[in-house]
Amino acid sequence: MDEFTQKVIDKLKYNHILSKLLAPNPLNSPSPNVEVSEIIMIITLTSGLPIEYIIELKWSAILSLNSKNQPKIHDKLNISRYYDFPISYKLHERLSNCYKNLKYPSIESKIINGYTNNRDLKSLHRSIRISLISISESVLRDMMSYTIDDKYLTQIIFGRRVFEVCGYTTKTSKKLKTLFKLKTNEELFFFLGYSSRHAIKYNLSNISLDENKKHRYKNGESHSFMDDNKHFNIKIGNSKEHYPFQHFQVFHDFLYKSQLYKFPIITNGIAILLLLSLTNGIRLSLLLKLKWSDFFLINEKESTMTFKKKIKFEGSYLNISEEILNRVQSFFSTSMYFYGIDMEKKKVINPKGLTYETLPSLEYPLVISNKGNQLTQPSLHRELIKALRDLGFQHADKFTTKSTLIMYGRRIIELKGDHKPTIKHLKEHFNFRSTQDLFNFLYINEYKGNKGVQIKGFNTIWEHVLYDV
């Protein structure tokens, strides 16, 4: 795969494409061709099967009819292959509606007819490629020069998604080679556009923690591998102490909904710090080192400043959503005003960035006290509790500087379960040598060797692929 084609493939985002396909059709009477084309794309993108195989399927492979002649989607494709291909519940409603919109064709008829020769198949492949491009608006200009055979495009998108959410393991590689009828890892990596297994970047930042993030969890909540009812309101065993955390999403939503402009500057800064710690699993004390220069670039010649495309901190890139970036930018204006710099005065937005009458220094710390001093580690816990009380957080006194780390780690285990690559990365992230040490830190008792029930995980790559769609 050449470098230009590689850039195009990188821009074809699986979640974005599938979320668009699963959304209700905006047309009152979508054409049969549109409906059939979308069904084919949904099935091939969620199974990894080639389009040539999908077009031979009958409706009975997907659904049956109940006593009221209404479609009932199967739990898996009714086909004879080397693997079971589950049909996620997230697809059921869309597939059922497509079938109804096509006026209930016979379940023994093919999903699509009329593609009997190479010319017809090439036309179908091209049509699907155009549909995928139109969904991914950002690649429209780049597609003129890409060199992939259209018939492999959906499989490449699927295969790359598998490695994105599963990481590389021998088991995952073997399944994909069998699915794509390839013999060696080298053939598999070349097919998917990787130079080697080391080019497959599985990171904790790939995991979609926030249920409200764009193109995430639109079609249903993820399977939860952990629901042990541990939170601020519950005491630890027979002790008088309470658990020092709550569910990730609950605390995330609390922070996100807080109207920070009402509060002192230190409360603003700590709220931003809590969001960054919660979504990246980084210690609050370490984040105190953040400066505005970590977020912004200044072009003195153009008198502009822009957000960095990637924000690197302590050797790693921060995972920052657009919503959090907006909070950071708003807080930046507040912070600069504290130093006597009016960032709203004669501010101009242009394609090159934000232009200000007076460009500020970016060497100020992100978090400062109400007296303008940099917040230090010895006073962190005291100021953290004060800030949470300011925000109206009812469990402020139970909060510790490790609370956000615990919520982050527990959220990852909740979503991915007993997934070896994820647990390995999480141990490295928190610097634990054993899984037991990691789980003790996260207050997780359910593991081998304990009295609790062992945490389970996804059984197949197909479940991993759709966990956050």
pLDDT confidence of residue 138: 57
pLDDT confidence of residue 387: 96
What's the token pair of residue 56?
């031979």
Of residues 129 and 465, more confidently modeled: 465
pLDDT confidence of residue 263: 87
What's the token pair of residue 349?
């937005």
Share of the chain above pLDDT 70, in %: 88
Spatial distance between the Cα atoms of 330 and 327, rounded to a whole number of angstroms:
5
Burial pattern 60-86, b for ≥16 Cβ within 10 A else e, equals ebbbeeeeeeebebbeebebeeebebb
pLDDT mean over 405-414: 96
User: Among 108, 103, 97, 18, which residue's Cα sits nearest to residue 61?
Assistant: 108
Contacts of 181 (CB under 8 A, 6+ apart): none
> Does residue 135 carry a pLDDT above 60?
yes
pLDDT mean over 177-199: 92
Spatial distance between the Cα atoms of 255 and 396, rounded to a whole number of angstroms:
13
pLDDT confidence of residue 383: 96
pLDDT in tens, 65-107: 999 999 999 999 988 777 788 899 989 999 999 899 889 999 9
**Range list of H helices, 29-139:** 32-47, 51-54, 89-101, 118-135
> Does residue 295 carry a pLDDT above 60?
yes
pLDDT confidence of residue 206: 86
User: Among 248, 240, 290, which residue's Cα sits nearest to residue 269?
Assistant: 290
Top mean pLDDT of 312-326, 329-343, 347-361, 400-414 is at 400-414
Using an 8 Å Cβ cutoff, are 275 and 324 in contact? yes
Spatial distance between the Cα atoms of 78 and 39, rounded to a whole number of angstroms:
16
pLDDT in tens, 253-271: 999 888 877 888 999 999 9
What's the token pair of residue 412?
């990852």
> Does residue 181 carry a pLDDT above 90?
yes
pLDDT mean over 395-419: 96
pLDDT mean over 413-439: 94
> Does residue 201 carry a pLDDT above 60?
yes
CA distances from residue 236 to 240, 341, 437, 444 in whole angstroms, order as listed: 7, 48, 18, 12
pLDDT in tens, 18-52: 888 888 766 555 677 778 888 899 999 999 999 88
Phi, psi angle pair for 302, to nearest 5°: -90, -5
Mean pLDDT of the chain: 85
Dihedral of the CA atoms 438, 441, 443, 444 (nearest 10)?
0
pLDDT confidence of residue 5: 65
Per the document, the length of the chain is 469
pLDDT confidence of residue 26: 61
Of residues 138 and 254, more confidently modeled: 254
Using an 8 Å Cβ cutoff, are 88 and 46 in contact? yes
Spatial distance between the Cα atoms of 42 and 139, rounded to a whole number of angstroms:
20
pLDDT confidence of residue 4: 58
Spatial distance between the Cα atoms of 289 and 285, rounded to a whole number of angstroms:
8
Binned at pLDDT 50, 70 and 90, residue 449 comes out as: very low
> Does residue 220 carry a pLDDT above 80?
no
Spatial distance between the Cα atoms of 327 and 334, rounded to a whole number of angstroms:
11
pLDDT mean over 281-300: 92
Phi, psi angle pair for 146, to nearest 5°: -80, 155
pLDDT mean over 113-125: 72
Strands (E), 197-260: none
SS3 content of the chain, % helix, strand, coil (to 5): 50, 10, 45
pLDDT confidence of residue 60: 95
Using an 8 Å Cβ cutoff, are 71 and 96 in contact? yes
Spatial distance between the Cα atoms of 6 and 142, rounded to a whole number of angstroms:
11
Share of the chain above pLDDT 90, in %: 45
User: Among 95, 46, 53, which residue's Cα sits nearest to residue 74?
Assistant: 95
Structural domains for the chain: 3-202 (1.10.443), 248-253+262-376 (no CATH)
User: Among 282, 269, 268, 240, which residue's Cα sits nearest to residue 401?
Assistant: 282
Spatial distance between the Cα atoms of 307 and 95, rounded to a whole number of angstroms:
41
pTM greater than 0.85 (yes/no): yes
> Does residue 159 carry a pLDDT above 90?
yes
pLDDT confidence of residue 227: 79
pLDDT mean over 365-377: 90
pLDDT confidence of residue 360: 77
Task: Using the Cα atoms of residue 385, residue 388, residue 392 and residue 398 in order, give the sign of their dihedral.
Answer: negative
Using an 8 Å Cβ cutoff, are 380 and 432 in contact? no
> Does residue 146 carry a pLDDT above 60?
no
> Does residue 390 carry a pLDDT above 90?
yes
What's the token pair of residue 357?
């009458």
Of residues 25 and 440, more confidently modeled: 440
pLDDT mean over 119-144: 69
Spatial distance between the Cα atoms of 361 and 133, rounded to a whole number of angstroms:
42
